[in-house]
Amino acid sequence: MIDIQTALDNFDIKPVHPGAYSSNSGWSATEGRDAFEATNPADDSAISKVASANADDYEKIMCEAVQAQKEWRMVPAPTRGELVARIGQLVSENMESLAAIVSLDTGKSLMEARGELAEVVDMSIMAAGQSRMLYGFTQQSLRREHRMYDQWLPLGVAGIISAYNFPAAVWAQNGFLAAIAGNTVIWKPSPKVPLTAIAIQMLCNKAMSEMDLPSIFSLFIPSENNLAELLLSDSRIALLSFTGSSSVGYKVAQIVGQDLGRRYMLECSGNNGCIVDETADLELAARSIAFGAVGTTGQRCTSTRRVIVHKSVAEKLTSLLKQAFSQIKIGDPREQDAVVGPLVDRQAVRDYSEAVQQAQALGGTIVCGGKEIDRPGYYVEATLITGLSSNAECVQEETFSPIVYIIEYDSLNEAIEIHNCVAQGLASGIHTTNLYNTELFLSAAGSDCGIAKVNMGTTGADIGAAFGGEKETGGGRTAGSDAWKGYMRRQSVCINWGGKSPWDNRINFD
């Protein structure tokens, strides 16, 4: 059971907490600000309030971030890694109280909240290690007595705009890499989940003050998303990383893209499909699909939304999925046996119901679920829908809720065509024991997504891999592999150590 007051007190979160922080200015004022409620999706109750950050706060944060970056860029990268490692350690030490805050903000079960925070800790360890490995290649010069290599340098101030579904992990995936890269970080979280951001900022403050550092990490939470446009149009933001819907992603790309030299990194909508062929282990597939579709109440950008199944096994798989879905308890995250919590807010419930109604109007059959759960809070049933064409509007769209459309196919080429016929390109999967089918799915003629999984669900990306996708997902990559390069600028260096120039014989100084 979560004791709300203890959870808030642990992080010194006030009944009306300021919405902006930077090291020199401290927390912003609360008077004269529009205060918005932090709502608990589990029962629709107000937990506390946040005094909206405003444009003046933004300007202070930005000036400090620019100034701090001038120092930070000259701090050796492994020392920058120590800050990130310390923040990870603090998250680990405060795991239970922070998990309570994540759960209060999002409605996630404590199990899922802990899982997200474990990802933050892993990310800090990886980024701290990476800080010692910001490698550039050495190249062979065509010229005699010249040395060439490329080196990676900081960009400047990085803006991170994150979505509500992973209020801690998405910041960590971006912020830790941005910081080890020598950038300072301004975080604009979703106002739907302000408490997690405030609690994390408190931990950052402790780590920064222990190391006597200026505003490396700062926070800006306006109540209105339109104030986020300050970050988009500000030429002092060198890199803007955005996680959220594709419709907002277009706006980010347009505004940031107006200035050449500024960068944006987009991790937008997914409409993730999982192919199940006639050779698949169907029980494994059903478990993986349930985990991918119902986990986090279907509110992951990687959630499984479409199952593309071979005709010969469609009936069997549908029946297994029905059994699997019915065993996952969706309930109040404060209840011991609740694996999955509610949706984030009332609008998310409306979007869910609209998608279900549209599916029915287009001739779809609800195999299980399909209804809102009648209790306080934003609960809906895990839902399976068959009988729709892959072109149906609701199948083409990303509805952030636990709805899965089951579509049948005859040949694997047809399955891949159905799989790729959506605008989004984040995560994908195939369940098969056939080598040819696996390799076709992973070939240039296969999945067009940034992430491809075999015999696994589409969610739960390993932080060691680069995370992101193609098409309307936006092309950005965060987390592992060489994603750190996205937070730095490359410089090709050439050094003439021999003292000779190409025009030695033409230019005479006698």
Instruction: Considering only the stretches 14-22, 162-170, 204-212, 358-366, report the one whose residues sit in contact with ligand UN1 under the rule CB under 6 A.
Output: 162-170
Contact letters for ligand UN1, residues 410-449 (x by CB under 6 A): ----------------------------------------
Q: Which is nearer to ligand UN1, 182 or 194 (CB)?
A: 194
- What are the helix (H) ranges across 376-477? 393-396, 412-420, 435-442
Residue found by looking up tokens 């636990």 in the block: 402
C-alpha triplet 333, 338, 344: angle, nearest 5°: 45
Q: Shortest gap between Cβ of 246 and ligand UN1 (angstroms)?
A: 12
Q: Which is nearer to ligand UN1, 12 or 462 (CB)?
A: 462
- For ligand UN1, which residue of 120, 127, 128, 163 counts as binding (CB under 6 A)? 163
- For ligand UN1, which residue of 103, 205, 428, 459 counts as binding (CB under 6 A)? 459
- What are the helix (H) ranges across 94-193? 95-106, 110-130, 169-180
Q: Of the residues 301, 381, 408, 472, which is catalytic?
A: 301
CB 179 within 8 A of CB 216: yes
> Residues 46 to 105: which contact ligand UN1 by CB under 6 A?
none
What is the per-residue DSSP string for 6-35? HHHHHTT--SEEESEEETTTEE---TTS-E
* Nearest alpha-carbon partner for 112 in 151, 174, 165: 165
Q: Which is nearer to ligand UN1, 73 or 251 (CB)?
A: 251
Q: What are phi and psi of 219, to 5 degrees?
A: -135, 140
- For ligand UN1, which residue of 129, 136, 387, 460 counts as binding (CB under 6 A)? 460
- What are the helix (H) ranges across 160-262? 169-180, 194-210, 229-233, 246-257
Does the annotation mark 301 as catalytic? yes
Q: Shortest gap between Cβ of 163 and ligand UN1 (angstroms)?
A: 6
**Structural element, H or E, at residue 313:** helix 311-327
> Residues 337 to 396: which contact ligand UN1 by CB under 6 A?
none
Of all residues in this chain, which one has the CB nearest to ligand UN1 in the complex?
461
Does the annotation mark 268 as catalytic? no
> Residues 168 to 187: which contact ligand UN1 by CB under 6 A?
169-170
Q: Shortest gap between Cβ of 398 and ligand UN1 (angstroms)?
A: 11
Q: Which is nearer to ligand UN1, 40 or 174 (CB)?
A: 174
Instruction: Considering only the stretches 4-12, 163-171, 202-210, 321-329, report the one whose residues sit in contact with ligand UN1 under the rule CB under 6 A.
Output: 163-171
Q: What is the 3-state secondary structure (H, E, C) of 344-390?
A: CCHHHHHHHHHHHHHHHHCCCEEEECCCECCCCCCCECCEEEECCCC
Q: Which is nearer to ligand UN1, 164 or 409 (CB)?
A: 164
Does 238 interact with ligand UN1 (rule: CB under 6 A)? no
Strand partners, 45: 40
Q: What are phi and psi of 486, to 5 degrees?
A: -65, -15
**Structural element, H or E, at residue 83:** helix 77-93
- Applying CB under 6 A, the site for ligand UN1 has a residue count of 12
Instruction: Considering only the stretches 67-75, 99-107, 166-174, 356-364, report the one whose residues sit in contact with ligand UN1 under the rule CB under 6 A.
Output: 166-174
Q: Which is nearer to ligand UN1, 57 or 112 (CB)?
A: 112
Contact letters for ligand UN1, residues 461-480 (x by CB under 6 A): x-------------------
Instruction: Considering only the stretches 13-21, 161-169, 178-186, 406-414, report the one whose residues sit in contact with ligand UN1 under the rule CB under 6 A.
Output: 161-169
End-to-end CA distance of the chain: 88
What is the number of other CB atoms lying within 10 angstroms of the CB of residue 151? Answer: 14
> Residues 275 to 314: which contact ligand UN1 by CB under 6 A?
300-302
CB 238 within 8 A of CB 183: yes
How far is it, in rounded angstroms, from Cα 248 to Cα 23?
30
Name the residues annotated as catalytic.
267, 301
Which residues contact ligand UN1 by CB under 6 A? 163, 165-166, 169-170, 243, 300-302, 459-461
